[in-house]
Structure 1
């Protein structure tokens, strides 16, 4: 057995696994000792930590060496002692040792701050590398740190050399069949871990320290990357679940609403009374359209003459705020009407199908539903999300990706139908032409339709068809905003000639602002977006000035259309007599709740910050207050996370 592991071509591979397991054991012990006074662990718990930890560490080691195992399998015997193999092996060993030494250092520093293995915060840090590198540089002496890690890596290489690990590998003769068995076993084990072993296997205890110490940092990192979330219950302020739901249910209670069950649920029947209208609904979700671009909100650039004209003659929300800083977060808010939960949008998470979306409400009313996107909807998991929630898909995807399946119909916009496109997708005009074609087909089928349209032209590189506006393509954001406005005007001109237009409501709303706050700082003004509803029957032009969120758009629209429906939405009818202005918004980590001028920001490590917001001066002044508003903030986010994780947002 020793000859297989340590006197064969695989000597370097198995020696590396041993070094990795010992190093990981030392890191786990260091983390345990640093928090031991708080852990309240029993002897059996400590045994479980090391046993489960070894299990996960083995999985990580198999992942790391799997490509090298494949290399050793395929390398011809005559090349085993060649210069090529020697150089390749030395370089591989040096790099992987260097990388895992850095990762172990990162784990220790991450634990010092969060007392957790890597989670979505660590994934988030990859997005904000500039801030993270500067933070590390200011917190640690980087030259000494890097030098120390390089010296430690060189020392391990020296130990390998002294123990003749390299020479035993280079001078060995390992038959192909034996190589096939060893490499095949390692690759199968790595694949088995990836497919069958969930990181939640380590979370069986009620003691969070026991769960976190049982995990492996690298394994947890990739699990967080895959799940795109940060566990609210572990890292944010909590109140009792019963109290949290009671607060939210009281807050969501409106005139004409009745809860359908007691306890941990927000499902309710909403009766709006009167004659219900069933118009077609087309929602244009405009990429990065900040309110500050419109003349209606004070801009003097005259970039949006079409939108400014529409704002004056239709239903306009003047104080609507986006829930996040990314397109998928806006999609989440506009389709699910829920507060943002930590990590990435639900659009990008597993188990996000068959949810009680706005589309589901339209389905119950007999509507067809289509998601239109000018780019490839495989990006950011858009097609999977909308497809698994009952929407047909129309996008610019060139082909179906591996693993991409839909229960609904997918239509790819062809080359012949495209006159201009860039890296992000086709021009807004081409996208709107696709919407018109789809609407014509739905109209002929005799079924009302609901369309969720996502544009791309107002996105870097800010290119668009030449000759449409008086600002050259690719010259910057101003041109993209002006073209976005122009394309909306052209779309409205075309559909006014359609037989279905008179019975079609058009919504124009932004997904998020063009310039947003950083990941740890929330600037309320950077979430202010325009929203307007056009062509509503029997509804005169009006300005809705109440402060509200994207999640309130559809409850308000359903009220204006006189619908009775079953709601599982956190959004509220802004026109209800009892409505109290409030917004929900967040970044990957921080979650904000503002009621009137009282702002609560929740962060990891159970941090709660409170401010008074002065809109006229755009100031968030730190202020100490507690009580109802703080509990309302916690209750909204705590219950939203709980409902999604435990299936409460499903049909």
Structure 2
């Protein structure tokens, strides 16, 4: 038998992995969310460099398969070595089971996982040792199981990458890492969004068929177990490739440098992207980004806030009128892109109530979300500071006792609540809001008779609003003003909601249906609220947490950050504010309307003040952007800076103030002043958080 056949399990699985990766790239290449066309050169780059990346990623990914194959032998079961090895396995099992092993120091599920693994290894070794006549059959079925498992993982990863792309328009990123933590919501979301039984039935069927053929062409490895010298050769080949892979993988990742983000994403290997996201879930701004001397950064910030001194943002915010302690209801709406509203060009009439409410409100027509996750939106309206690199403050360990909108209301005797129809444990919301003085009202606060409909994300918006009305009626009797922040859940995949509410059935799982039901529920809320005694003494702030999708052919596509926002006062006058602004400015603007007199640490500003300088912050977890003077400046890790001129790409029939599509043209000559200003904002925000100067 020729030596290369001894490598058959490895190369057969590798070929299968390459086929799946190739097919996946084709599917994603033509996916509707891939809003781009590609040149011949870009297409060749995607598929050729993509295939090479897949090869080098497969090598380290198959390390457990290599280890398994190398340790297959019969000699280890000979006497007395077999009994000695079994004794060592038993001793190791008892050591881990004692509860005093090194694994117990790490806590969590690790000791249990290790114990199960060692227990299985011990049991299998005993079977091989005491049942020599059955050894070949047991080895065959164990070998078949290992091949089956690898095939299943390859197919499962392909499916996961497809569904992730379907949702976000990118390969695995920071979001995928986060989702590992919240398995209940994520698995539940998958179960309710997709025909899971059909998908997994097909998955296991295909896995079984593929395993059969790979097994047929690979079983020679166990039929004639390689000699020690052959295993040494296999090991040398594998370790050589492994070493080369460690160099080649990051080198190839650097070739993902196209101006078209879709080219980079399609070229990338999803497994390596996941690894990078896992490694970089914490980003130290001062280590990875371009910086200025701290004194210079704060001196530039002083141009924005003339009243600050030293290295902080503390400054007086005063009013020439008495403070107005009206009730405030802040509603952050899940995934409500501006493009869903009629004024921004939508023709499906899926937000009729919001369209009408906007016309009665102080409407902010040119506002950008800080990020593309709910926690970024919550951070923006609660802490009013730019989206710093890495994870949102909401999910960081140091997330308590911050200078927040809730703290300012609480100082004035307000009841302060955060209301969420789901489990506030998700995305660390409970820890963040309770740690900043908010009382939490979530799904656990609902009695069974208060829930008419729920899915994996929580109760439907109507149930949440009815609960909110009940609580606000109780608060009104205390003769204290209230500040209640409501976070909606219904406009989220799987987009299920009660039937017979709108003209789109709630069980067809439609995005348009999710938006329209969200709008319907909000109308019901205002109908109920308008009948309450506290209604006319209440100001309502409505804003999206982020857009429905963040996918685009540029790093930070502006239309994927444009969100609607307005402030409705039943006694106020309708008006529009068309200047560029950020999500972090919304609450400081409200505080200005209420004439609050306070010492501010916010980076957000009252946009109605004459000294306001228009700008907006938009970011992913690693790309930090500033829009100013029709230029987008982006700071990225490895001290990278990019600038783009923003050229309006107008949509017919849409008024100028609602236009949201821009072509991003690379700037030929750097605007150093804007680069330094962008650095100033993000560096000072990072510095203040790092040095704990943003406490209340």
Report if TM-score (shorter chain) is over 0.5: yes
Question: Is 1:524–2:558 an aligned residue pair?
Answer: yes
Question: Is 1:637–2:668 an aligned residue pair?
Answer: no
Shift in alpha-carbon separation, 1:325–1:169, aligned structure 2, 3 A: farther
Shift in alpha-carbon separation, 1:500–1:137, aligned structure 2, 3 A: farther
Shift in alpha-carbon separation, 1:561–1:616, aligned structure 2, 3 A: farther
Which 10-residue stretch deviates more, 184-193 or 288-297?
Answer: 184-193
The question of whether the paired residues in 2 share the 8 Å contact of 1:136 and 1:142 is answered with: no
The question of whether the paired residues in 1 share the 8 Å contact of 2:454 and 2:460 is answered with: yes
Question: Is 1:578–2:611 an aligned residue pair?
Answer: yes
2:231 alignment counterpart: none
The question of whether the paired residues in 1 share the 8 Å contact of 2:552 and 2:560 is answered with: no
- Compute the displacement of 1:516 (Å): 1.5
Question: Is 1:437–2:470 an aligned residue pair?
Answer: yes
Question: Is 1:427–2:471 an aligned residue pair?
Answer: no
The question of whether the paired residues in 1 share the 8 Å contact of 2:491 and 2:511 is answered with: yes
Question: Is 1:342–2:389 an aligned residue pair?
Answer: yes
The question of whether the paired residues in 1 share the 8 Å contact of 2:95 and 2:101 is answered with: no
Q: How does 1:162-201 map to 2 (within 5 A)?
A: 168=81, 171-172=84-85, 174=87, 179=92, 182-183=95-96, 188-192=101-105
CA distance in 2, matches of 1:175, 1:145: 36
- Compute the displacement of 1:322 (Å): 0.3
The question of whether the paired residues in 1 share the 8 Å contact of 2:291 and 2:679 is answered with: yes
Pick aligned residue for 2:584 from 548, 551, 555: 551
2:694 alignment counterpart: 649
Pick aligned residue for 2:286 from 197, 209, 233: 233
Pick aligned residue for 1:453 from 482, 486, 490: 486
1:128 alignment counterpart: none
Shift in alpha-carbon separation, 1:153–1:337, aligned structure 2, 3 A: closer
Aligned residues: 478
1:116 alignment counterpart: none
- Compute the displacement of 1:359 (Å): 0.7
Structure 2 SS opposite 1:431: helix
1:372-415 deviations in Å (ceiling 9; x for gaps):
11111111111111111111111114xxxxxxxxxxxxxx1122
2:349 alignment counterpart: 302
Structure 2 SS opposite 1:245: helix
Structure 2 SS opposite 1:313: coil
CA distance in 1, matches of 2:506, 2:387: 35
CA distance in 2, matches of 1:378, 1:593: 31
1:486 alignment counterpart: 520
Question: Is 1:510–2:544 an aligned residue pair?
Answer: yes
- Compute the displacement of 1:582 (Å): 0.3
2:251 alignment counterpart: none
Shift in alpha-carbon separation, 1:150–1:479, aligned structure 2, 3 A: closer
CA distance in 2, matches of 1:185, 1:243: 58
Structure 2 SS opposite 1:141: helix
Shift in alpha-carbon separation, 1:369–1:224, aligned structure 2, 3 A: farther
CA distance in 2, matches of 1:166, 1:518: 58
CA distance in 1, matches of 2:554, 2:649: 23
CA distance in 2, matches of 1:229, 1:541: 43
Shift in alpha-carbon separation, 1:336–1:155, aligned structure 2, 3 A: closer
Question: Is 1:315–2:315 an aligned residue pair?
Answer: no
CA distance in 1, matches of 2:47, 2:394: 32
Q: How does 1:368-379 map to 2 (within 5 A)?
A: 368-379=415-426
CA distance in 2, matches of 1:526, 1:499: 39
The question of whether the paired residues in 1 share the 8 Å contact of 2:499 and 2:507 is answered with: no
Gaps of 5+ in 2: 1-8, 18-44, 109-273, 651-661
Pick aligned residue for 1:462 from 491, 495, 514: 495
CA distance in 1, matches of 2:277, 2:55: 30
- Compute the displacement of 1:575 (Å): 0.9
- Compute the displacement of 1:289 (Å): 0.8
- Compute the displacement of 1:297 (Å): 2.1
CA distance in 2, matches of 1:477, 1:151: 39
Q: How does 1:123-272 map to 2 (within 5 A)?
A: 138-139=49-50, 141=52, 144-145=55-56, 160=71, 168=81, 171-172=84-85, 174=87, 179=92, 182-183=95-96, 188-192=101-105, 228-253=281-306, 258-259=307-308, 262-272=309-319
The question of whether the paired residues in 2 share the 8 Å contact of 1:318 and 1:544 is answered with: yes
Gaps of 5+ in 1: 1-93, 103-133, 196-220, 398-411
- Compute the displacement of 1:190 (Å): 3.3
Which 10-residue stretch deviates more, 428-437 or 463-472?
Answer: 463-472
2:663 alignment counterpart: 619
1:162-207 deviations in Å (ceiling 9; x for gaps):
8977774654464999657743689643343579xxxxxxxxxxxx
CA distance in 2, matches of 1:263, 1:427: 48
- Compute the displacement of 1:228 (Å): 4.3
CA distance in 1, matches of 2:553, 2:77: 46
CA distance in 2, matches of 1:585, 1:457: 25
CA distance in 2, matches of 1:165, 1:643: 61
Q: How does 1:265-280 map to 2 (within 5 A)?
A: 265-280=312-327
CA distance in 2, matches of 1:153, 1:491: 56
- Compute the displacement of 1:138 (Å): 2.5
1:350-381 deviations in Å (ceiling 9; x for gaps):
11011111111111121111111111111111
Structure 2 SS opposite 1:338: coil
- Compute the displacement of 1:536 (Å): 6.0
TM-score of the superposed pair, with normalisation by structure 1: 0.68
CA distance in 2, matches of 1:336, 1:270: 16
The question of whether the paired residues in 2 share the 8 Å contact of 1:287 and 1:510 is answered with: yes
The question of whether the paired residues in 1 share the 8 Å contact of 2:304 and 2:613 is answered with: no
The question of whether the paired residues in 2 share the 8 Å contact of 1:580 and 1:596 is answered with: no
Shift in alpha-carbon separation, 1:237–1:194, aligned structure 2, 3 A: farther
Shift in alpha-carbon separation, 1:587–1:176, aligned structure 2, 3 A: closer
1:32 alignment counterpart: none
1:131 alignment counterpart: none
Shift in alpha-carbon separation, 1:186–1:556, aligned structure 2, 3 A: same
Shift in alpha-carbon separation, 1:416–1:638, aligned structure 2, 3 A: same
- Compute the displacement of 1:440 (Å): 1.3
RMSD over aligned CA atoms reads 3.2
- Compute the displacement of 1:488 (Å): 1.1
CA distance in 2, matches of 1:234, 1:445: 50
The question of whether the paired residues in 2 share the 8 Å contact of 1:268 and 1:566 is answered with: yes
Q: How does 1:287-298 map to 2 (within 5 A)?
A: 287-298=334-345
CA distance in 2, matches of 1:137, 1:451: 54
Structure 2 SS opposite 1:450: strand
1:221-244 deviations in Å (ceiling 9; x for gaps):
999969942111111111111111
Structure 2 SS opposite 1:529: coil
Shift in alpha-carbon separation, 1:362–1:186, aligned structure 2, 3 A: same
- Compute the displacement of 1:276 (Å): 1.6
The question of whether the paired residues in 2 share the 8 Å contact of 1:520 and 1:587 is answered with: no
Q: How does 1:110-121 map to 2 (within 5 A)?
A: none
Pick aligned residue for 2:410 from 351, 355, 363: 363
Structure 1 SS opposite 2:677: helix
TM-score of the superposed pair, with normalisation by structure 2: 0.63
